[in-house]
């Protein structure tokens, strides 16, 4: 009788110990709780696919902030070439506007400087025209005044060549009077 009780106690202790060990070692995070639409927090699965090892990294298209900022490079990286193509329709989204502004840029050929950066700020009216001239807010330090003037003239000429932009009524109403800041980066290899 005592042997039966002792064997049952040993079996119970070993299964409890194994269960405790199994719960302590968890190499896969979030495997203990499935995702649910009723959860008050976002679901973070531990894998996206059987074919992809490692954690699931969401591909979120982050929204634009209240201030519209854009960087335009003279020579865009290969991965961003699609962003530098002019839309073939009326501009209906901020992405369309940014693509149009990227295609407008033509850097100066004379008095150019490699690595030159200049930022301007301006606003559009509802019809797609500028409200006042673009105001420079930044230029690379140590650059002569005539080079800054050359780049500002190139920015003004590039924008005037594209104006008026063809906004849809929705985008025109949403953008009218809202400031847009554009940073122009001349990353061409000059002198070669």
Number of structural domains, the chain? 1
Q: What mean pLDDT value characterizes the chain?
A: 82
Cα–Cα distance, 70 to 84 (Å, whole number):
12
In a domain, 135, yes or no: yes
Greater pLDDT, 156 or 25: 156
Using pLDDT thresholds of 50, 70 and 90, give the confidence band for residue 10.
confident
Cα–Cα distance, 67 to 178 (Å, whole number):
8
| Whether pLDDT at 20 is above 70 | no
In a domain, 51, yes or no: no
Q: HSE-up of 104 (CA within 13 Å, CB side)? A: 22
In a domain, 120, yes or no: yes
- At 14 the pLDDT is 72
**DSSP letter, residue 167:** B
In a domain, 85, yes or no: yes
Q: What is the per-residue pLDDT across 52-78, written as a single tens digit (0 to 9) for each?
A: 655 555 555 666 777 799 999 998 888
Cα–Cα distance, 186 to 65 (Å, whole number):
25
In a domain, 46, yes or no: no
Helix axes 145-162, 94-104, angle to 10 degrees: 120
Q: Give 166: exposed, middle or buried? Use CB within 10 Å, 0-12, 13-18, 19+.
A: middle
DSSP state string for 59-86: ---PPP-SSEEEEEESS--GGGGGGGS-
Which residues, 6 or more positions from 187, have their beta carbon under 8 angstroms from its beta carbon?
73, 74, 75, 114, 115
**What mean pLDDT comes out for the span 80-91?**
89
**What mean pLDDT comes out for the span 18-34?**
51
In a domain, 191, yes or no: no
Using pLDDT thresholds of 50, 70 and 90, give the confidence band for residue 156.
very high
In a domain, 87, yes or no: yes
**149's tokens:** 């003037």
- At 59 the pLDDT is 57
| Whether pLDDT at 133 is above 80 | yes
Greater pLDDT, 84 or 55: 84
Give the global pTM. Answer: 0.66
Domain around 153: 68-185
Beta strand 135-139 pairing with 117-123: antiparallel
In a domain, 59, yes or no: no
């Amino acid at each position: 009788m005592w042997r039966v009780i002792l064997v049952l106690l040993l079996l119970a202790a070993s299964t409890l110990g194994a269960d405790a060990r199994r719960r302590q070692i968890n190499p896969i995070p979030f495997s203990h709780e499935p995702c649910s639409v009723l959860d008050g927090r976002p679901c973070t699965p531990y894998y996206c696919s059987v074919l992809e090892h490692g954690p699931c990294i969401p591909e979120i298209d982050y929204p634009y902030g209240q201030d519209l900022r854009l960087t335009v490079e003279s020579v865009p990286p290969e991965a961003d070439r699609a962003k530098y193509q002019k839309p073939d329709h009326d501009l209906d989204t901020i992405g369309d506007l940014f693509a149009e502004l990227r295609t407008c840029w033509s850097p100066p050929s004379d008095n150019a400087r490699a690595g030159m950066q200049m930022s301007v700020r301006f606003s559009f009216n509802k019809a797609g025209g500028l409200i006042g001239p673009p105001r420079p807010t930044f230029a690379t330090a140590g650059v002569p005044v005539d080079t800054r003037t050359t780049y500002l003239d190139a920015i003004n000429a590039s924008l005037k060549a594209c104006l008026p932009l063809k906004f849809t009524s929705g985008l025109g109403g949403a953008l009218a009077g809202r400031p847009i800041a554009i940073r122009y980066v001349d990353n061409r290899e000059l002198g070669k």
